[in-house]
Structure 1
Amino acid sequence: MTLDLGIRPFTRPVEAADGYPRIEDHALIGDGATAALVGMDASIRWLCLPRFDGPALFASLLDAERGGAWTVQPAGPLREVRQRYLADTAVVVTELRCDTGTVQITDAMVTGGALGAGSPSGPGELARLVTVLHGEVDLRVRLTGRGGLTPAAGPDEITLGWPGAATPVTLTSTLTVDGLDRLDGSVRLGAGDRLGLVLRWAAGPTRLRTADDVATALEATASAWRKWAANITYTGPYEDLVRRSAITLKLCDHHASGAIVAAPTSSLPEAIGGERNWDYRFTWVRDAAYTVYALRRIGLTDESEGFLAWVLNACLRDGRPHILYTLDGTQPTAERLDPDLEGYRRSAPVRWGNAAADQVQHDVYGEILDCAWQWVRGGGIVDDRRWAKLVELATAAENNWRTPDHGIWEIRDAGRPFTYSVAMCQVAADRMARIAAATGRAGEEGRWRELAGTIRASLLEQAWDPAAGHLTEHLGQPGTVDASLLALPLRRVLDGADPRMMATVDAVIDRLGAGDDLLYRYLPAESPDGLGGEEGAFLLCSFWWVDNLAHSGRLAEARERFERLCARVNHVGLLPEQIDPTTGQFLGNFPQAFSHIGLISSAVNLARTR
């Protein structure tokens, strides 16, 4: 099984809807500090500076007129386009055909050398190399910024005054482009001609002064990515997609801290025209255990250790643990609505910050202690101070597992006794017992082992609906299901081959199925979340479906579902948070780390059954 992510045929440009390109018609580039989205038409429509969670310089995905973008295109209409990554890299090559010729644009954020965990981010440069492959092209270069840009032309570069800049942003061109000092210029290029463009936001001037300089920097960046990707050990189904998913997770990795953002974007909607638009440029504790486990399984131990260290340092500080953190391990500023941007395809509001940071979600205890257990399994030390903090967290799980919370899906409504939250409190006790045994604290093991058994027994009794014959979304409330129930075998709460779990899987598929391979995470009409409207199918839950089929021995069905999911990646192998089951179009923030984690885990599970 494979999917060719190499050079594909040219395609006709997809017409914009409501003046906006499709979310899926983009690739991602980054440097370990921030990331940018490059469209199939070579327009850069998203870039926050100087970090993932900084202000947006380019945000035309959230407002086509006022958001800002960097466009490099032939002046005439585009006839055909294609785009790909250089193999095992985050270097993007886009080719544009017009009536008079073909242009190739190679884009990357320049690396600072090595890409391993803890390595420095790049020098703060986005490099673009334009090459005319044949014919003659009038190339237009246009740059607009969110909040407006004020250009000041110097002898070698243009300094851009931008309200959000902590340091000056500069633009360098290796050729004279008439009108570029006003940030909208053009130049005529013939076959073989090259133009280098460099946007720099770090302090100091660029060293990339010629087209050769830009080409050399792009080659060095590609080489660094290939050296890093050589650490991926996975062989099995859809190896190319697993490798691309690993690179995508690395693009969501903040090198300086080890944190991994849920997605590099904000406010891409879960339904067109709806209000379910969230800022995902933060790190969720919930994602950590899944991410670490997935990265370990494909050989990326440095990244998994770096993320583990970040999670434990952030969550074991004084005060109660939170469900999400900034890249620095602090709490984000209050969520606010942006009055100036209309939202993707007019899906308002645009949000900066995430109010879920203040929610009560009891699963966080299990998520942290599962991370701690993985830390111990990998040789990490638990001294008395850290042990005391782990005891504090496990005790919080012991005290709170019976009380309602806002759940894994972060409802903006009154709390409820979610089955998944109770299950993760059981995970907290179970992992605490394992840590005690592994660190020579055998006298403590019994207490936590007993608590784990008590919570598990209560869950299986109170979440079980005898009339329906399956587990339910809440304790003591029969009827409804949500897709988080599929995670119970993945967290070792209930065996995937247990008849109760198999019946629950069938119930989830029956109630939440959205086609042959997709699942909704819940139905708002049955499980109110305090928000209006609907949402798309949630991709991670679909990969959980695959995992459950594999765990219960339904291997042929698991492989079939997995192949269908893999066929939904975009032209360069990227996945969003959600998909519209009716149209197949991408929804939600993009690319989504959780979706790529799901792909990696399902691929590894299936590879082990071969």
Structure 2
Amino acid sequence: MFDPNPPLLPVHRPDGYPRLEDLGVIGDGATVALVGVDGSIPWLCLPHFDAEPVLAGLLDNQRGGHFTVTAQDLREARQHYIPDTAVLVTELRTTTGLLQITDAVVVRSGADLTDDAPAGRAELVRSARVLNGTIRLDIDLRPRDSGQIRAALDGLEIRPSRRPDLRLHLRANRPLASLPVAFDLNEGEHVDLVLSWGRVHRHHRFNAEDMLATTADAWRRWMAHFTYSGPQEPLVRRSAITLKLCDDWVNGALVAAPTSALPAPIGGVRNWDYRYAWVRDAAFTVFAMRRIGFKNEADAFLGWVLDAFEASRQPRIMYTLGGGPVPDEVEDPDLEGYRASSPVHWGNGAADQRQHDVYGEVLDCADQWVRAGGELQPALWAQLRGLADAAEWAWREPDQGIWEMRSDGRVFTYSAAMCQVALDRAAALGEKLGLPAPVARWRSAATELTRQILERSWDEKAQTLSAHLDGGGVLDASLLALPLRRVIPATHPRMVATTSAVAQRLSAGDGLLYRYLHQDSPDGIEGDEGAFVLCSFWLVENLVRQGHLEQAHELYSSLCARTSTLGLLSEQIDPATGTFIGNFPQAFSHIGIIASGVSLTRATTSTTA
């Protein structure tokens, strides 16, 4: 549970790995580092989110690499963020003293996070200070598969063996002759470290305190745009910062998560690379960020989606952050995987799947772009018009669906619904802007498609809409998104019945939901999975729209209580243990926190006005 002032607790490392709940995230809009409650950094991709990781100890605690600053004889630890920032504080208690480590990926002095220019300095600062007693401080930096270390400038130069293109420079306020190294520190003494991977700032004054202060100040200035006032406000604030950490500040794209190959569940093979931008995330992200005050981020992501689509000249479900094709999926034979969960994957094999929902995702982005004051150039409109024409027929064909099944395709209800979105949004754009378009035909096709969904996916015996248009009563939590995409009202009797069916039959207990049941919907992948966090937030929004505010508030509170003490969430939760599984932190989960909070606030306000 989110706790701004958590207690000091023993450190747990099951199978020698940190729990995902015990990791904090810091970043600068180009990459992130995950920081363990024990002072280790077991994950860092340089120089960008989707580059090969320099530190991958999260995927192999022996060979993956780490940057560790910790206290010998560690007994207890805790973490918290400096409020409204991505500056992380870790406290470590030993039998002899208390150590405080302050970590941040540096944002350059004077930069606002909403500037068009890159705000990062390609530097990670770690400041370790003894608060009381005495501490034996251990420091080690070991890239994946090690590398060459030599004295250089005022510190050490490290050239990772797997990344000859990359030069790391480690500076300190104390002499560094080699690694690992240890220092004996008394109360008030400190060791400051700066890891650089871009241009070496050899003529910059070394002042870790200033670097941390200016970084915190930049985050606070960005958070001054925050406008939300409602349930779980501190957690919504933290979710906004977490989404910003998943944001590419240069391109405007958003990674689904800044990690790869974290398993769901532990020991399983569902270990995918999420360090790319999914088009379907766009509409949900834009809704969430715009409604809590971050218009610039919303507009930047919309612009990125349309630019990527226009440049590729075809609707891809995901892109690299630069708008290019996602690399082919490969297995890494050298890493054992998180808690021995192999294989480790780089790239994503779902990138070239047929997923018909992308038609609606792109056109919904275009609609939101225009609503926000953007313009559509004739060349882009010609491509968008082609998407609408394709959607008019594509829904009849099988695809792999929103959950990217790796089995034979089906005619998924959600995919058909997003084709309806494509037609509806295209008709609205054509009419509003007076663009050349068969508006009447599209609108008629959208109406007919809604009828087809309500009739063909309805299972009278099961009293629910089904995952597929051939009915059969097979459930899928993606059905909860139909009201959110304005396809079927949440109050429609068949949607009310479906909401109830999903809540009961896909329940993983205590408000958690499975995406689908594997015995009913084989997906071509071995094993089961955990509860998918976003689906439960979709249930909250349906309950709100159906007027069940007390039930919605209770569910929302229970879901928010599942966050880590830092206010972070993974993709999935293991229902049996409550532990985080899947990639982390997951943007979709934090979008759920924000969007559900906004819906609850609006509904509560309207009923009390």
Matching of residue 150 in structure 1 with residue 144 in structure 2: no
Determine if contact 2:2/2:235 at 8 Å carries over to the other structure: no
Moved more, 144-153 or 304-313: 144-153
Map 1:388-399 onto structure 2 (within 5 A): 388-399=382-393
Report what 2:541 is aligned to.
547
Map 1:192-231 onto structure 2 (within 5 A): 192-206=188-202, 210=206, 213-231=207-225
Report what 1:474 is aligned to.
468
Determine if contact 1:168/1:203 at 8 Å carries over to the other structure: no
Report SS of the residue matched to 1:437: helix
Matching of residue 66 in structure 1 with residue 63 in structure 2: yes
Deviation at 1:207, TM superposition (A): 5.2
Match of 1:587 among 581, 592, 602: 581
Report what 1:439 is aligned to.
433
Deviation at 1:7, TM superposition (A): 2.2
Deviation at 1:19, TM superposition (A): 1.4
Matching of residue 81 in structure 1 with residue 80 in structure 2: no
After superposition, give the CA deviation of every residue in 1:139-197 in whole Å (9 maximum; x if it has no partner). 110111112121011241111011225331111111125xxx43201011111111110
Deviation at 1:100, TM superposition (A): 1.1
Amino acid at match of 2:46: L
Report SS of the residue matched to 1:123: strand
Deviation at 1:4, TM superposition (A): 6.2
Amino acid at match of 1:447: R
Q: TM-score, normalized by length of structure 2?
A: 0.97
CA distance in 2: counterparts of 1:9 and 1:17, whole angstroms: 20
Q: 1:117 to 1:462 in 2, by over 3 A?
A: farther
Match of 2:93 among 74, 92, 97: 97
After superposition, give the CA deviation of every residue in 1:419-450 in whole Å (9 maximum; x if it has no partner). 00000000000011111122123864212111
Report what 2:4 is aligned to.
6
Amino acid at match of 1:80: E
Report what 1:535 is aligned to.
529
CA distance in 1: counterparts of 2:389 and 2:19, whole angstroms: 47
Match of 1:38 among 35, 38, 44: 35
Moved more, 64-73 or 4-13: 4-13
Matching of residue 108 in structure 1 with residue 107 in structure 2: no
After superposition, give the CA deviation of every residue in 1:275-314 in whole Å (9 maximum; x if it has no partner). 0000000000010110011111111000000000000000
Amino acid at match of 1:164: R
Q: 1:33 to 1:270 in 2, by over 3 A?
A: same
Matching of residue 232 in structure 1 with residue 226 in structure 2: yes
Map 1:130-141 onto structure 2 (within 5 A): 130-141=128-139
Determine if contact 2:458/2:471 at 8 Å carries over to the other structure: no
Report what 2:170 is aligned to.
171
Paired residues, what number? 601
Determine if contact 2:97/2:134 at 8 Å carries over to the other structure: yes
Determine if contact 2:385/2:437 at 8 Å carries over to the other structure: no
Determine if contact 2:260/2:345 at 8 Å carries over to the other structure: yes
Identity of aligned residues (%): 53
CA distance in 1: counterparts of 2:238 and 2:78, whole angstroms: 18
Q: 1:4 to 1:356 in 2, by over 3 A?
A: closer
Moved more, 395-404 or 271-280: 395-404
Gaps of 5+ in 2: 605-609
After superposition, give the CA deviation of every residue in 1:14-67 in whole Å (9 maximum; x if it has no partner). 2x2111121110000000100010011111010000000001111111001001
CA distance in 1: counterparts of 2:432 and 2:271, whole angstroms: 43
Report SS of the residue matched to 2:288: helix
Q: 1:303 to 1:207 in 2, by over 3 A?
A: farther
Deviation at 1:457, TM superposition (A): 1.0
Determine if contact 1:5/1:240 at 8 Å carries over to the other structure: no
Q: 1:57 to 1:21 in 2, by over 3 A?
A: same
Q: 1:159 to 1:443 in 2, by over 3 A?
A: closer
Report SS of the residue matched to 1:136: strand
Deviation at 1:120, TM superposition (A): 0.5
Determine if contact 2:286/2:299 at 8 Å carries over to the other structure: yes
CA distance in 2: counterparts of 1:560 and 1:214, whole angstroms: 44
Report what 1:513 is aligned to.
507
Determine if contact 1:465/1:479 at 8 Å carries over to the other structure: yes
Determine if contact 1:34/1:48 at 8 Å carries over to the other structure: yes
Report what 1:425 is aligned to.
419
CA distance in 2: counterparts of 1:534 and 1:207, whole angstroms: 54
Determine if contact 1:363/1:407 at 8 Å carries over to the other structure: yes
Deviation at 1:273, TM superposition (A): 0.6
Amino acid at match of 1:540: L
Map 1:236-275 onto structure 2 (within 5 A): 236-275=230-269
Report SS of the residue matched to 2:509: coil
CA distance in 2: counterparts of 1:202 and 1:184, whole angstroms: 23
Matching of residue 608 in structure 1 with residue 602 in structure 2: yes
CA distance in 2: counterparts of 1:31 and 1:443, whole angstroms: 43
Map 1:322-341 onto structure 2 (within 5 A): 322-341=316-335
Map 1:360-375 onto structure 2 (within 5 A): 360-375=354-369
Gaps of 5+ in 1: none
Matching of residue 191 in structure 1 with residue 187 in structure 2: yes
Deviation at 1:208, TM superposition (A): 5.7
CA distance in 2: counterparts of 1:512 and 1:350, whole angstroms: 29
Report SS of the residue matched to 2:350: helix
Report what 2:607 is aligned to.
none
Determine if contact 2:153/2:202 at 8 Å carries over to the other structure: no
Q: 1:319 to 1:381 in 2, by over 3 A?
A: closer
Deviation at 1:395, TM superposition (A): 1.1
Deviation at 1:86, TM superposition (A): 0.3
After superposition, give the CA deviation of every residue in 1:531-579 in whole Å (9 maximum; x if it has no partner). 0001110000010010010011111000000000000010100000000
